[in-house]
Chains A and B, each alone.
Chain A
Amino acid sequence: MAYTLKITPKMKQQFVSETTAHLNNLEKMLILLEKSPEDVEAINAAFRAVHGIKGNSDYLGYKDLNTLSHAMEDLLDDLRSGRKILDRKLLSALLAGHDLLRAQVGKVTDEKYEMADVSDILSLLQRSIKTAATRAESTPERGSRKIDKRAVFIKAAVQHIDFIKEVCSALTEGKKVQGAQKNLLRSLSTFHVSARYSGFTSIAAALLEMKNSIADLSSVRKKAAHKLLAEITAVEEMLSDDTAATAGVRSKKKLPEADYTDAIGHGIRVSPEKLENIVNIVSQLVIFRNGLNHLLLDKRGTDGKEDPWLKELKTMVAAMDRSIGQLQHRAMDMRLMKISILFERLPRLIRDLGVRSGKKVRLTLIGEDFEVDRKVVDHLFEPMLHLIRNAVDHGIELPEERIQRGKADEGVITVKSYQEGSFAIIDVIDDGQGLDIERIKQGVIEKGLVTAEALHGMTTEEIITCIFMPGYTTTARATQVSGRGVGLDVVKNNIQSIGGSVLLTHKPGQGSRFSMRVPLTMAMEEVLLVESAGELYAFPFAAVQENMTVSRQLIEVMHAREVIPYRDTVISLRHLDCVMGTTAPKKLRKAELAELAVIVLAFGGRYQGIVVDQVLRRESVLIKPLDKHLGKIRELRGAALMGDGSIVFIIDPIGLFT
C-alpha cells in the first residue's frame, strides 16, 4: 500500500517561510532583469528560486502551486539555456505568475486551503514564451556556450592556483619539492594559454610574466617562491573580480553568489512565536532579579555587622545578575533583523506604482544596514509603504509637468535608513512638488477639522501637521495608488504605538521628506526612576539628556513660564507633580528648597526641563501598554511592574514638551 506523506502544520510553516524567501529572491531578480534582460546570473538565480519552490510544492500536494511553479520553471529553463530571449511580455507574465504564487503561499497555513484557478496565467505564460524571440539557429545556445567556456576556465584556474600556492608555500617553508620548477612552469604555461583563450587578458599577462620570471632560474628557491606566492594571490583576486558576474566556483570564498542568493541554509529559522516566548520568559526573569535585588537592598546584619551568609548571598545574586543581563541581551539579539529586509520588495512596488500612475519613478535606497527588533520592522512596513504610495501619488509630478518645471522627467524616491543613538530613522524623500499649503488649508476647513479662525492663527508648520489628522485627505477622488480610505493618521498612530514619531519637512516645488523615527528595540527598556509628590515615575532613558540640580536663584519667569539657563540657551521648566495633577499648582513654589532636581529631556533638537523631587536610579523594565482609558493620556507611554511589585507609569517624553 502506498505510503502517504503527513504534512504537519509546522511543516506548512516551514514551506511558507522557505517559499517566501524564494519568492523575494525571484522578484528581486525579475526586477533586475527588467533593466538588464541579458543578465545570465539573474536568470540563473530566478531559475533556482522557482526550482526551489517547485521542489517543495511537489510534496505539499497543492496542485495550483505545483502546476504554476512547474510552468514557470520550464520557462526559466528555456531562458537559462539560451533557447529563448527574455522580453517585456515574458517578464510581465513571470511577474504575474510570481504574484499568484505569493498570494497562494499566503493561504497555505489557512485552515482550509483555497485552490486558485491557474489556467489564465498558464496560458499567458505559454503565449508569451511562444512569441518570445528564439536565438538564431546558426549559433545555437551561443550565450550559454560563452558562459560555459568561462566556467570551465574558472574551474581549471582554481585548481592551478591551488597547486601553485601549495608548491610555493612548501618552498617558502624551506621544504624540498620534487620537480618544483618543472611543474610550476607547466602549470603556469597551461594556465596562461587557457586564460588567453577564455578572454581573461590581464590574468594571462600576469601569468606569462610569472612564467618568464622563473624560466631562467637554475632552481626555484625561497625568495622566488615568496614572489610567486604574492603574484598568484594577486591573480586569484583578479579572477574573483573578473568573475563577479559568473557563478562562484569556490563557495568558501563568497564572491559572486552573495548578491543573488538568500541566506537560505545559513542559520536556523525559528518561528517568531517561539522567540517571543523566550523573550517573555527572560523578561520575567529580569523582573524577578529586580525583585531579589530590591529585597537585598536594605538588608544589613541585625546588629549593624554584615552577616556572612548574607554577604555570600549578595555575591551570588550579583553573579546571577550579570548572567541574567547577558541572557537578556542575547535574547533581544535573537529578535533582531536587518533593517534592509524592509526594502526587499520596494523595487517592485515602485515599478508597479509608476506603471499604474503613468509617472516615471526611480527608487534609490541609501543609508546603513543595521539591526532592529523584529516588532519594529513589523510596525514600520505598512507606514513606509503608505508614505511611498503617497509620494508617488501626491509628490511626483507627471513627466510633462516635470519637464515644464525644468526637472528630469523621471522622479526619484529615496528611501534612507540610518541609526541615531538608540533610534532607527527611515526617511521617505521625493523630489516632487512638495506640499500645497493652500490646498491643505482648504481641505482642513472643508472636512471641518479646524475652524477658519483657528487656521488663521496657525503657522505654516502647524498647518502641515494637519495632514496627519484623522479624516484628512486632499484628493477628492481616491486614487488607485494611495487612496485606500486610510490616511496619514494611521501612519502616525502606527509609529507612535511603538514609541516613535513622524516628522515632515518639505520645500515647495522641490519635494518632501517624511522621517519616521522609531526605537531600535522594544519590550525591555532602560528607564530612569524618579519620585515626585510621593509617586514613582519612569523616564525612558534614551530621552533623558541630563539630570542635574538647579539652584532656585537661576529660575526666571518668561512669558508666564519658569525657565532656566541650559547650555547656551534657556529651557522651560515643568513640574512633574503639577503635570500629573498630584499637587495643586500653587503649592509648587517650594521656597524652602534651595535646589531643585531637574531632568532635561531632548527631542528633535529641543529641550525641556522637568522638575522632580528626587532622581532615584536607572533600571531596565518591561513596558506594558496602557489600556484604552489611560492610554489616551498623552503624557503616559505605558506602565511597568517594579521589583517590589508596585506599578510605575512610564512617561512619554514627547507628551511633556510644551
Chain B
Amino acid sequence: MLTLSQEAFRMKKILIVDDSMFTRNIHKQIISEILECQIFEAANGEEAIALYQQEKPDLVLMDLLMPGMDGLTVTRKIISDDEHAKIIICSTDKQKFRQQEATDAGATAFVPKPVDPEVLQKQITAFL
C-alpha cells in the first residue's frame, strides 16, 4: 500500500523579497503559473528575516538592491540561522562578481533580472 508522508501533502511556501510591489506581483504570477503554493511577500530585509523565521518557507526569491539591508546581507542572516535555506537571488546586477558573491553568501542560485519566466520556473522546480 502506498503511504505518503504528511510532508508531501503540505503546500509549499515561497517567500518573495523585493522592494517593488510591481515586481513581486510579476514574480508571483510566474510562480503561480507552475505551482500551487503559499506565497509570502516582504518589501525589505527586516521583513524578510522576520517572515522567514515565522514561516520557514521552502524557497526564497531575493532581490539584491533594496533600501536598508541589501539582499546579500539578508541572505547571510537567513543562512546563518538555517543552513538548509534555499535562496534564489534575482537581481539586475548582471556582473559575474555578483553571482560569485551570491554563491559565497550561501545562495542556491542566481537568476538575472528581468527574470525570464521559463528560467525562473525551471530553477524553482529544480529546488523544490
A contact residues vs B (CB 8 Å cutoff): 2-6, 11, 14-15, 18, 48, 51-52, 54-56, 58-59, 248, 251-252, 257, 261, 264-266, 269
| Identity of the chain A residue whose Cβ is nearest the Cβ of B66 in the assembled complex | A265
A2 to B25, CA, bound (A): 19
Known: A48-B67, A58-B113, A264-B67. A14 touches B22 (CB 8 A): yes
Take A2-B117, A58-B114 as given contacts and tell me if A257 and B68 are in contact as well, using a CB distance cutoff of 8 Å: yes
Q: Which listed residue (B43, B113, B117) contacts A55, Cβ 8 A?
A: B113
How many angstroms from the CA of A288 to the CA of B117 in the assembled complex? Answer: 51
Q: Using Cβ atoms and an 8 Å threshold, which residues of chain B touch A3?
A: 30, 33, 117-118, 121
Task: Tell me if A265 and B25 are in contact (CB < 8 A).
Answer: no
Question: In this complex, what residue of B is CB-closest to A14?
Answer: B22
* B95-121 Cβ-contact flags toward A at 8 Å (1 or 0): 000000000000000000110011001
**Given the interface contacts A3-B117, A5-B26, does A52 sit within 8 Å of B19 by beta carbon?**
yes
> B15-49 interface mask toward A, CB cutoff 8 Å, 1 = contact, 0 = none?
00001111101100110010000000001111000
Q: Given the known A-B contacts A3-B117, A265-B67, are A54 and B92 also in contact in the complex, defined by CB atoms under 8 Å?
A: yes
Chain A residues within an 8 Å CB radius of B23: 55-56, 59
* Nearest neighbor of A52 in chain B, beta-carbon distance: B20
Do residues A5 and B117 form an inter-chain contact, with CB atoms below 8 A? yes
B114 to chain A: closest residue by CB: A58
Residues of chain B with a CB closer than 8 A to A269's CB: 21
B44-82: which have CB < 8 Å to A?
44-46, 65-69
B65: which A residues are within 8 A, CB to CB? 48, 51
Considering the complex, give the chain A residue whose CB is closest to the CB of B117.
A3
Query: Are A18 and B30 in touch, CB under 8 angstroms?
Result: no
**Residues of A contacting B113 in the complex (Cβ-Cβ under 8 angstroms):** 55, 58
Contacts A5-B30, A56-B23, A265-B66 known; 11 new A-B pairs at CB < 8 A: A2-B117, A2-B118, A3-B118, A5-B29, A18-B21, A52-B19, A55-B92, A56-B20, A58-B114, A265-B19, A266-B43
Tell me how many residue pairs across A and B have CB atoms closer than 8 Å.
68
Question: Which of B22, B25, B33, B69 has the largest number of chain A CB atoms within 10 A?
Answer: B22
Q: How far is the CB of A297 from chain B (nearest CB, A)?
A: 48
27 interchain pairs, CB-CB under 8 A: A2-B118, A3-B117, A3-B118, A4-B117, A5-B117, A6-B29, A11-B25, A14-B22, A15-B22, A18-B21, A48-B65, A51-B65, A51-B92, A52-B20, A55-B113, A55-B114, A248-B68, A251-B46, A251-B69, A252-B46, A257-B67, A257-B68, A264-B19, A265-B43, A265-B44, A265-B68, A269-B21
Q: CB distance B121 to A18 under 8 Å?
A: no
CB distance from A76 to the nearest CB of B (A): 13
Q: Is B25 touching A14 in the complex (CB atoms < 8 A)?
A: yes
Q: Name the CB-closest residue of B to A11.
A: B25
For the complex formed, measure the closest distance between the CB of A212 and the CB atoms of chain B, giving whole angstroms: 34
Which residues on A sit within 8 Å (CB–CB) of B33? Answer: 3
Q: Give the CA-CA distance A269 to B20 in the complex, in Å.
A: 11
Q: How far is the CA of A6 from the CA of B25 in the complex (A)?
A: 10
Bound-state CA distance A251–B71 (Å) is 13
Chain A residues in 8 Å Cβ range of B118: 2-3
A63 CB to closest chain B CB (Å) equals: 13
- C-alpha spacing A15/B25, complex, angstroms: 11
CB distance from B53 to the nearest CB of A (A): 16
Contacts of B43 in A (CB 8 A): 264-266
Cβ of B26: which chain A residues have Cβ within 8 Å of it? 5, 11, 59
- When chains A and B are docked, how far (Å) is the Cα of A2 from the Cα of B121? 11
Nearest residue (CB) in A for B91 is A55
Complex alpha-carbon distance, A6 and B30, angstroms: 10
Q: Which residues of B contact A18 (CB under 8 A)?
A: 20-22
Q: Roughly how many angstroms separate A3 CA and B27 CA in the complex, as a whole number?
A: 13
A2 and B30 CA atoms in complex are apart in Å by 12
Q: How far is the CA of A14 from the CA of B21 in the complex (A)?
A: 7
A5 neighbours in B (Cβ, 8 Å): 26, 29-30, 117
Cα separation A55 to B92 with both chains bound (whole Å)? 7
Beta-carbon nearest neighbor of A269 in chain B? B21
- In the assembled complex, the CB of A141 is this many whole angstroms from the nearest CB of chain B, namely 15
Of all chain B residues, the one with the shortest Cβ separation from A267 is B43
CA distance A28 to B21 in the complex (A): 23
Partner of A251 from the list B21, B45, B92 (CB cut-off 8 Å) is B45
State the Cβ distance, B119 to closest chain A Cβ, in Å: 11
Contact pick for A261, options B25, B67, B69, B117, CB 8 Å: B67
Contacts of B19 in A (CB 8 A): 52, 264-265
In the complex, chain B residues whose CB is within 8 Å of the CB of A54? 92
Bound-state Cα–Cα, A558 to B45, Å: 73
Q: How far, in whole Å, are A264 and B29 apart by their CA atoms in the complex?
A: 22
Partner of A11, one of B22, B44, B121: B22
Question: A181 to nearest B CB, angstroms?
Answer: 28
**Which residues of B have CB within 8 Å of A2?**
117-118
Q: How far is the CA of A11 from the CA of B24 in the complex (A)?
A: 10
Give the distance in Å from the alpha carbon of A58 to the alpha carbon of B45 in the complex: 23
B117 neighbours in A (Cβ, 8 Å): 2-5
Contacts of B21 in A (CB 8 A): 14, 18, 269
Give 9 closest A-B pairs by Cβ, nearest first. Answer: A58-B114, A251-B68, A265-B43, A3-B117, A14-B22, A261-B67, A265-B19, A59-B26, A265-B44
Task: Give Cα distance in the complex from A3 to B32, angstroms.
Answer: 12
Chain B residue at minimum C-beta to C-beta distance from A61: B114
Which of A51, A55, A251, A252 neighbours the largest number of chain B CB atoms within 10 Å of its CB?
A: A55
Contact between A59 and B22, CB atoms less than 8 A apart: yes
Q: Please name the residue on chain B nearest to A19 by beta carbon.
A: B22
**Measured between alpha carbons, how far is A197 from B77 in the docked complex, in Å?**
29
Q: Which residue of B lies closest to A262 (CB)?
A: B67
Min distance, Cβ B114 to any Cβ of chain A, angstroms: 3
CA distance A269 to B24 in the complex (A): 14
Cross-chain contact B69 with A55 (CB below 8 angstroms): no
* A251-B46 Cα distance, complex, nearest whole Å: 9
In the assembled complex, the CB of B20 is this many whole angstroms from the nearest CB of chain A, namely 6
User: Chain A nearest CB: distance from B38 CB in Å?
Assistant: 20
CB-CB < 8 A to B114: which residues of A? 55, 58-59
CB distance from B31 to the nearest CB of A (A): 11
Write the chain B residue with the least CB distance to A51: B65
Residues of A within 8 A of B45 (CB): 251
Bound together, the chains give a CA A69 to CA B118 distance in angstroms of 25
Q: How far is the CB of B123 from chain A (nearest CB, A)?
A: 14
